[in-house]
Amino acid sequence: MKPGLAIKKDQLTTLLEQSEVTAGMYVRVHGDHLILGRREPVGPAGELEDTDRVRLTSLSSSSYGLSVKRHTGRWERTPFHGSMQEITEVIWTMMQHLVAPWDCTETSGAQH
């Protein structure tokens, strides 16, 4: 892990816990990226698995770009960039549907 990224990871984890939208998400470091996700039940037996959702990429010491994970597994850049606080606010307001826990219960007969 690059020096300083452990501190950034801790700062982001603290920010995420401030909102019910992102509370409980994990943060992991991969290269220059801080990857946010959730442990979710998958498969027929419902085993818990890490599911990456969004990624902050370090653009400078205090600026990040935001990417989202596509259904194909590839990361797609968004036009959002800014401080960690600004990117977190974008996630809270515009990316709620991407970071929300999966609801595996049946509603109105439909399976998710």
Residue-wise pLDDT for 13-72, tens only, equals 999 999 999 999 999 999 999 999 999 888 888 889 999 999 999 999 899 999 999 999
State the total domains in the chain: 1
Q: What pLDDT does residue 46 have? A: 84
Residue 106 lies in a domain: no
Q: What pLDDT does residue 3 have? A: 73
Q: What pLDDT does residue 83 have? A: 97
Residue 105 lies in a domain: no
pLDDT of residue 107 exceeding 60, the answer is no
Q: What pLDDT does residue 112 have? A: 43
Residue 36 lies in a domain: yes
Residue 109 lies in a domain: no
What residue numbers bound the domain in which 15 lies? 5-99
Residue 68 lies in a domain: yes
Strands 64-69 and 33-42: unpaired
What is the 3-state secondary structure of 56-97?
Answer: EEECCCCCEEEEEECCCCCEEEEEEEECHHHHHHHHHHHCHH
Residue 55 lies in a domain: yes
Q: Tokens 């943060």 map to which residue?
A: 27
- pTM of the prediction? 0.85
Residue 108 lies in a domain: no
Residue 56 lies in a domain: yes
